[in-house]
Amino acid sequence: MSHHTISVVDLGFVYPDGTRALEDVSFEVGHGEAIAVVGANGAGKSTLLMHLNGLLSPTQGTVHIGGLPVIKSTLPEIRRTVGMIFQDSDDQLFMPTVAEDVGFGPLNLGLPPEDVAARVDEALGRVGAAHLKERPPYRLSGGEKRAVAIATVLAMEPNMLVMDEPSSGLDPQARRRLIGLLASFEHTRIIATHDLDMAAELCERVLVMSGGRLVADASVRDVFTDDELLAASGLERPLGMQACPVCGAAEAAPADRAGDR
């Protein structure tokens, strides 16, 4: 697949219990773009993400990944292309040791054991977790679990990364390392998050969800300065774009902050 693009058209989804979780959601994501999906709890962010690799099938509308429709027959290809990083790393790390967990995907892809071992080392090295290789997942800290969870996905060499709340539950330094890591990726990235400062740092574009609908699709600068839109969607400006609570100085532009990391 040459184009790492996502195209969502008129997507609607109703849960079996009748909850209308998504309605008329349409957007396009270009090759290599980094996009934040923000919105209040229950706005439909996670449901939207689960459509991007076929964990849920639309009740209405279509999803295309790199030109391929997300339907049952394309799922193996789609799931190799779209790497999904779950909110709770414990859900993602189900194998007895870190190395085996990272090797799970590649082994299922049918790679020979030597290639799997190489990919495991490479993926763990990429996230700075090579030393955790032999550890069982239940003996990792929250930050280590998140790093390993990302490695499990990288080992499948996906073209796109879809992440649900990657920075939740991390201490400030682990969060900072995560942001550095995500910024270094060249994959097409979709990040659902409440961490608006991270969104402002990593992404150029923001999708705002509210009540299952896409209410805004614009640049970071436009969305995060539109106080009316933010308030209506249960959000506020990123802390870095608010006046300083101690000295009262006005915010710095996101572009400046991105520069002085």
Partner 1 sequence: MSAIATGLSTLDRLDRLAQQDTAIHRLDPRAKVLTTLVFIVCVVSFGKYDVIQLLPFLVYPVVLAAGGRVPLGFVARILLVVSPFALFVGVFNPFLDRQVVAEIGGLQISGGWVSYASIILRFLLTAGVALVLTATTSFIGICLALEKLRVPDVLVTQLLLLFRYIFVLGDEAQRLGQARRLRSFGHRGMGLRPYGLMLGQLLLRSFARAQRVYEAMLCRGFDGRIRMARTLHFGRADLLFTLGWTALFVAFRLVDVPLLLGRLTTGMGQ
Please identify, using beta-carbon distances, which residue of 69 and 96 lies nearer to partner 1: 96
Q: How far is the CB of 257 from partner 1 (least distance, A)?
A: 33
Closer Cβ to partner 1, 137 or 238, answer by number:
137
Smallest gap from Cβ 205 to partner 1, in A, equals 24
Q: Which of 209, 234, 161, 208 is nearest to 13 (CA)?
A: 209
Give the residue among 154, 163, 47 at the shortest CA–CA distance from 106.
Answer: 154
Residues 6+ apart with CB under 8 A from 14: 20, 21, 59
**CA 149 remoteness from chain centre:** 12
CB 163, CB 181: distance < 8 Å: no
The smaller minimum CB distance to partner 1, of residues 89 and 233, is found at 89
Closer CB to partner 1, residue 5 or residue 152? 152
**Other C-beta atoms within 10 Å of 152: how many?**
26
Contact 15, 212 (CB under 8 A): no
Please report how close the Cβ of residue 213 comes to partner 1 at its closest, in angstroms: 24
Binding residues (CB under 8 A) for partner 1: these are 50, 53, 55, 76, 79-80, 83-84, 86, 88, 90-92, 94-97, 100, 103-105, 107-109, 113, 116-117, 136-138, 152-153, 156
Q: How far is the CB of 4 from partner 1 (least distance, A)?
A: 17
